């Protein structure tokens, strides 16, 4: 580095993290390269290499080469991946988060914005405010950024036109009137030539404001009134090297912790006190925000990963139902009724999206009503977790208010979210217990209750086999009830069609009804195509291991089409039945069903095969 600042002096300075946003070729990389260059933050050997590669015909250094690291970025002249750059001045140290401008890299930009306190929004002076400007402004606001500097770049290409600058500035100010930004300012710049970046431009003397670097140095990041000032520590690992030591490793998310301090352990709000604070192998008297330390408590308390330790009288919320904003990354849509894993603050719980309230059109900020959330969509949702969790609203704590959603089957990260508030009904709804419960009903009937979940294509034999099985179980004195796809759609689910969204809701309702019958001590036999793995997994997750038995009628579609007992395949091929499974809608075969039925065997043989499997489970 060319800078002579000592590491010790840099560490004492206040840190500002900011994100650069802009459309393709608005000059983000050149701007960041200019800031690095002017603050002596480029290594000498890197600078020499930069000069050799990037001097253009006018002998002007192309500083974008200092930023665009991927070969694909240099070849295309765009930013693809998110990148973090560091520089400092005499007053402050900075982390620049360089976000891609392409629509398809929205998830990268969201990741960057979630770590920033300030946004620099670039526009090309020749183009003015465009859809991407609005998109990035909405995303920054959604992610909690409340300070924005509009940089109108490439002023040299419009001959430093004062009137054009003010016209673009006024358009932007009108655009952001609906948002609750704390501060919005505007600067005319030329990142290529350095005008108003680190020095005031002699070519734009009409601009009386500060240059960009001065504004960055002098900006104050005051805490919002809603921000939690209490001490909060998140437990990541229980450290137990021997029977004489129990420590809790984690990070101080806010405030500070001191030796001897009285604390609360959440969610049970158990009082304790800090015996020691360990930083590595050394004891410390204090741990500040951002420090990764190990806490040793005087009291022996059952604490595990995901628990929260706070200063006394800290109000951490605890609930299992929330309203949240999510940004969807995956090319597989999100649907109401689908189950996912939710990871928040080192804790993983199963969750379900109850309601998709609306999508946010980030080119107009309008509400769009939809039954699914697709790639790069931003949506307001309501979700429910299987167990209550500790949290704070995102506008109070980014760490305790942000989460990711994960695919239960393959552990793919699907999206991220920000909790807005808990739903009041989560505190008002409680499970009512009764003296006559499932166990007593099973005792009365003389058998265990189970869910026998038949799945397979239309015409695979589900309903026929389910009917014959019910007859045999009835002979054995076992109480059963069949939930059949066609019958249910005449009543409970008559409001649903056969779109993917409604198929998901169809199975969700059936799973919940099955749970009620199961609790009543009945052996529930369901006969539904249930084409999606995730929905069958959602149904399975409602029950304990061994209580849900998946029975796959493994009949090839060619055989199903030959059978075609209801003539549905013929109608589907003529286009009379849209979204018909096996024709124009997929069927995802079970990978490991408890029972796999071979279509080559007779109905009687298949029923006998099922009974052999079930006797171990059903007869006391």
**Residue 119 has which token pair?**
């946004």
User: Cα(1)–Cα(131) distance, rounded to whole angstroms?
Assistant: 39
Please tell me the distance from the alpha carbon of residue 522 to that of residue 442, in angstroms, as a whole number: 8
Q: What is the DSSP string of 231-286?
A: -EEEEEEEEEEETTEEEEEEEEEESEEETT-EEEEETTTEEEEEEEEEETTEEESE
Which residues, in sequence order, are CB contacts of 377 under 8 Å at separation 6+? Answer: 327, 328, 359
Contact 27, 125 (CB under 8 A): no
Q: Do the Cβ atoms of 372 and 359 come closer than 8 Å?
A: no
Task: Report the sign of the C-alpha dihedral through residues 211, 212, 214, 218, in that order.
Answer: positive
Task: Quote the tokens at residue 565.
Answer: 């007992």
| Separation CA 490–CA 496 (nearest Å) | 10
Largest CA distance in the chain: 97
Check 23, 271, 530, 602 and give the catalytic one. 530
Q: What are phi and psi of 56, to 5 degrees?
A: -90, -170
A 10 A CB-CB count for 299 gives 11
In this structure, the strands spanning 92-98 and 14-21 are parallel
Place of tokens 């800290």: 314
The question of whether 530 is a catalytic residue gets the answer yes
**Contact assessment for residue 204 and residue 188, using Cβ atoms and an 8 Å cutoff:** yes
Q: How far apart are CA 63 and CA 34, in angstroms?
A: 6
Asked if 302 contacts 235 with a C-beta cutoff of 8 angstroms, the reply is no
Exposure class string for 110-142: b at 16+ Cβ within 10 A, else e: bbbbbebbbbbbbbbbeeebeebbbbbbbbbbb
CA–CA distance, 435 with 494 (Å, rounded to integer): 35
Q: Write out the catalytic residue numbers.
A: 530
């Amino acid at each position: 580095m060319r800078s002579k600042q000592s590491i010790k002096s840099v560490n004492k300075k206040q840190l500002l993290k900011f994100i650069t946003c802009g459309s393709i070729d608005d000059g983000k990389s050149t701007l960041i390269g200019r800031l690095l260059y002017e603050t002596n933050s480029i290594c000498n050997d890197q600078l020499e290499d930069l000069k050799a590669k990037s001097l253009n015909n006018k002998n002007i250094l192309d500083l974008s080469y200092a930023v665009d690291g991927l070969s694909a970025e240099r070849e295309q002249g765009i930013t693809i991946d998110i990148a973090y750059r560091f520089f400092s001045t005499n007053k402050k140290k900075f982390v620049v988060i360089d976000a891609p401008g392409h629509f398809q890299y929205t998830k990268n930009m969201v990741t960057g914005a979630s770590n920033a306190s300030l946004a620099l929004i670039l526009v090309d002076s020749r183009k003015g405010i465009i859809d991407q400007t609005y998109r990035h402004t909405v995303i920054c606001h959604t992610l909690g950024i409340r300070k924005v500097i509009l940089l109108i770049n490439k002023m040299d290409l419009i001959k430093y036109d004062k009137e054009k600058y003010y016209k673009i500035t006024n358009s932007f100010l009108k655009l952001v009137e609906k948002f609750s930004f704390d501060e919005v300012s505007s600067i005319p710049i030329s990142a290529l030539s350095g005008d108003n970046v680190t020095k005031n431009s002699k070519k734009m003397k009409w601009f009386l404001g500060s240059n960009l670097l001065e504004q960055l140095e002098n900006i104050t990041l005051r805490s919002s009134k809603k921000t939690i000032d209490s001490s909060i520590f998140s437990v990541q690992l229980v450290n137990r090297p021997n029977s004489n030591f129990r420590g809790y490793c984690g990070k101080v998310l806010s405030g500070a912790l001191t030796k001897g301090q009285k604390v609360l352990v959440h969610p049970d709000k158990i009082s304790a006190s800090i015996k020691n604070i360990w930083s590595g192998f050394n004891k410390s008297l204090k741990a500040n925000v951002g420090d990764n330390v190990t806490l040793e408590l005087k009291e022996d308390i059952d604490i595990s990963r995901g628990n929260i330790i706070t200063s006394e009288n800290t109000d951490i919320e605890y609930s299992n139902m929330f309203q949240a904003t999510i940004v969807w990354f995956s090319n597989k849509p999100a649907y109401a009724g689908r189950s996912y894993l939710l990871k928040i603050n080192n804790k993983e719980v199963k969750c379900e999206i109850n309601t998709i309230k609306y999508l946010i059109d980030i080119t107009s900020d309008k509400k769009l009503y939809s039954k699914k959330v697709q790639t790069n969509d931003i949506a307001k949702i309501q979700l429910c977790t299987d167990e209550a969790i500790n949290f704070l609203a995102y506008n109070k704590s980014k760490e305790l208010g942000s989460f990711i959603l994960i695919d239960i089957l393959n552990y793919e990260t699907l999206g991220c979210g920000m909790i807005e508030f808990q739903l009041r009904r989560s505190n008002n709804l409680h499970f009512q217990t009764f003296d006559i419960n499932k166990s007593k009903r099973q005792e009365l009937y003389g058998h265990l209750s189970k869910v026998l979940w038949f799945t397979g294509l239309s015409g695979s034999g589900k309903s026929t086999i389910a009917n014959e099985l019910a007859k045999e179980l009835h002979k054995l004195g076992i109480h059963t009830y069949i939930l059949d796809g066609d019958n249910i759609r005449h009543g409970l689910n008559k409001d649903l069609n056969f779109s993917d969204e409604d198929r998901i809701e169809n199975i969700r309702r059936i799973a919940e009804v099955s749970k009620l019958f199961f609790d009543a001590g009945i052996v529930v036999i369901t006969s539904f195509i249930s084409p999606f793995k995730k929905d069958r997994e959602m149904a399975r997750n409602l029950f304990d291991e061994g209580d849900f038995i998946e029975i796959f009628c493994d009949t090839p579609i060619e055989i199903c089409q030959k059978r075609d007992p209801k003539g549905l395949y013929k109608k589907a091929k003529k286009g009379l039945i849209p979204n018909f499974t096996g024709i124009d809608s997929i069927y995802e075969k079970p990978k490991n069903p408890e029972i796999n039925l071979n279509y080559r065997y007779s109905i009687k043989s298949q029923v006998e095969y099922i009974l052999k499997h079930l006797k171990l489970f059903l007869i006391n």
